[in-house]
């Protein structure tokens, strides 16, 4: 469908269907204001909102885990090139000191606009579902430690993933909600009843649905059943063809329509070749783009970008482009509470756009009204 978007001072100030004719409010129209207006003809390509990735650990050989500003820039710039205009830096489980240092460093990256916040994936996770997290570093929810991490983040801690069956988990969920931090359920062996209690306490996200959690069973729905049946909950999906197979991805889009947030869970190997990498303290081997712990016991994040996740959703899974776009942009923005600023091509929102070429490949990226 033909259409146009008008951008001024980093914001979307007009949208419309059809081919612009120069009327009021259209590009080149009477309301264009003072100064020369540049009109870009995108020649029939798709334009979608900038992708929003609420769960990403690294890319281009760099990792958010170090908390170093230069590495954070490198990761963010790599994913920006693939259309992710808003990214949340995820930290895996570490010692109290390592996490405090990482959060403080990433708060600087957030102050500079490289990341939109920090996601603590752990350390309050179930050992039985720890995945690529070091089980020796896992611990029960510690409200004092969490408060210190929130303080170190200077308002930039956006999300915390925890296992709701651990002692003190419900109290930490409530602490997170009071602090303005999204509580997410993940890396958990909890029953459905226990997960529902966490949702009632204020948890609103299921971290990478199916992965790192008790599987769905017809006599015990577990975290998957609880999340899919709760209209308050956004469910993350890693759509890389490794973590969740296409038939199941299609099932989730049908069961949780309008509540699916595509994520990458990308680690430092994204954008790189096969080889050996680090995820926190764990050694990860990447072969044919598949990342696993060195001993092969667990998948260890992904090597995809949000552009890959979007393209696979449309071309492999068969999701309509509009629904895939919503899952890659608006729903994750809603998870962060930023949907009044980003996530859709609506007047007043930030001018974060992705131009898609043949095969849904990323042709151009605009962030804050500037081509990158």
Q: Which residues contact 310 (CB under 8 A, 6 or more apart)?
A: 48, 51, 83, 262, 324, 325, 328, 360
Does 9 participate in catalysis according to the annotation? no
pLDDT in tens, 21-52: 665 556 654 444 445 678 888 888 999 999 99
Give the total residue count for the chain.
Answer: 372
- To the question of pTM greater than 0.75 for the whole model, the response is yes
Q: Which of 53, 265, 308, 339 is catalytic?
A: 265
Say whether domain 49-344 belongs to CATH 3.20.20.140. yes
Least confident span in 32-41, 87-96, 154-163, 319-328: 32-41
Query: Domain spans of the chain?
Result: 3-41, 49-344
Question: Looking at 127-211, which runs of residues are DSSP E strands?
Answer: 157-162, 182-185, 205-206
**Block residue for tokens 């995809």:** 304
- Per residue in 224-280, pLDDT (tens digit) is 999 999 999 999 999 999 999 999 999 999 999 999 999 999 999 999 999 999 998
- Alpha carbon distance 315, 359 (integer Å): 8
DSSP state of 46: E
**Strand order across the 370-371 sheet:** 46-49, 353-356, 362-367, 370-371
Pick from 367, 369, 370, 371: which is nearest to 87 by CA?
367
């Amino acid at each position: 469908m033909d259409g146009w978007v008008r951008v001024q001072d980093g914001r979307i100030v007009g949208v419309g269907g059809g081919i612009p004719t120069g009327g009021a409010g259209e590009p080149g129209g009477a309301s264009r204001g003072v100064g020369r207006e540049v009109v870009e003809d995108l020649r029939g390509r798709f334009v979608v909102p900038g992708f929003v990735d609420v769960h990403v650990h690294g890319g281009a050989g760099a990792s958010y885990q170090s908390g170093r500003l230069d590495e954070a820039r490198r990761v963010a710039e790599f994913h920006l090139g693939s259309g992710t205009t808003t990214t949340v830096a995820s930290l895996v489980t570490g010692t109290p000191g390592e996490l405090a240092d990482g959060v403080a460093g990433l708060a600087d990256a957030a102050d500079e606009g490289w990341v939109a916040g920090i996601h603590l994936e752990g350390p309050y996770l179930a050992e039985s579902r720890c995945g690529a997290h070091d089980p020796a570093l896992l611990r029960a929810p510690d409200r004092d430690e969490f408060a210190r991490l929130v303080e170190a983040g200077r308002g930039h801690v956006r999300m915390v993933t925890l296992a709701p069956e651990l002692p003190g988990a419900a109290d930490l969920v409530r602490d997170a909600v009071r602090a303005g931090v999204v509580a997410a359920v993940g890396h958990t062996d909890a029953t459905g009843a226990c997960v529902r209690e966490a949702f009632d306490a204020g948890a609103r996200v299921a971290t990478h649905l199916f992965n790192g959690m008790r599987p769905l069973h017809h006599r015990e729905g577990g975290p998957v059943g609880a999340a899919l049946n709760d209209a308050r909950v956004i469910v993350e999906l890693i759509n890389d063809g490794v973590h969740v197979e296409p038939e199941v991805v299609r099932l989730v889009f049908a069961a949780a329509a309008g509540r699916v947030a595509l994520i990458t869970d990308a680690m430092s190997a994204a954008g790189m070749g096969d080889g050996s990498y680090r995820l926190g303290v764990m050694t990860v081997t990447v072969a044919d783009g598949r990342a696993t712990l060195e001993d092969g016991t667990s998948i260890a994040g992904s090597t995809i970008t949000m552009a890959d996740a979007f393209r696979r959703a449309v071309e492999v899974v068969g999701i309509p482009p509009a629904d895939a776009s919503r899952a890659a942009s608006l729903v994750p923005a809603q998870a962060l509470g930023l949907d009044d600023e980003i996530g859709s091509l609506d007047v007043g929102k930030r001018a974060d756009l992705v131009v898609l070429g043949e095969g849904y490949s990323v042709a151009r990226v605009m962030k804050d009204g500037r081509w990158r």
